[in-house]
Amino acid sequence: MKKISSSYLGNLRISSLHEKSGTIIETDAPVDNNGKGTRFSPTDLVATAYLNCMITIIGIYCDKNEIEFQDCKGDVEKIMTDNPRRISGLNFVLDLSMNNWNDQEKRRIENAAKNCPVAKSVSSEIKINIEFKY
C-alpha cells in the first residue's frame, strides 16, 4: 500500500501527496542546481525532516516521562558539496529556553533528540552540529 505518491509537474517541480492526510507538498530544484528555488528542495526536506524529528522526539520523550514541554524553536543550516552533489553538513540550533528543565532532564532530552529516527537514517558522512540553547 502506498503512503506517499509523487508526480513530476515539469520544470524540475514535483508534487507529493501524503495519502493518509491528503496533504500535498511541492518541491523545486534549487537555483544553484538548475531550478527556480521557489519551493523546498528535496535536500531542504531532508534537513527539515531531521529538525522536525528531533523536536517530535523531544515531545514524545517529555510526554512519556511527564516532563512539561512548553515550546521549542529550531533552525537548520544545510551545507551542500559537489562531486558528488550531496548534503555535507547540517547545523542545528534548538531553542529550548522557555522550558524549566533541570540538568539531568536536559541531558536526557538532548540524547533523545540526537537519536531520533531521522538521525539514525542519514549518512554518517554528513557532519552534524547541534546547539541546544537554554
The pTM assigned to this predicted structure is: 0.95
For 15-44, the pLDDT digits (tens) are: 999 999 999 999 999 999 999 999 999 999
In angstroms, the CA 41 to CA 116 distance is 22
Q: Return the SS3 of 34.
A: coil
In angstroms, the CA 121 to CA 106 distance is 24
Q: Which CATH superfamily is domain 42-133 in?
A: K homology (KH) domain (3.30.300.20)
Domain ranges of the chain: 4-33, 42-133
Residues forming beta bridges with residue 15, ordered by sequence position: 7, 26
- All three cell numbers of 67, joined, read 516532563
**Mean model confidence pLDDT for the chain:** 97
For 92-101, the pLDDT digits (tens) are: 999 999 999 9
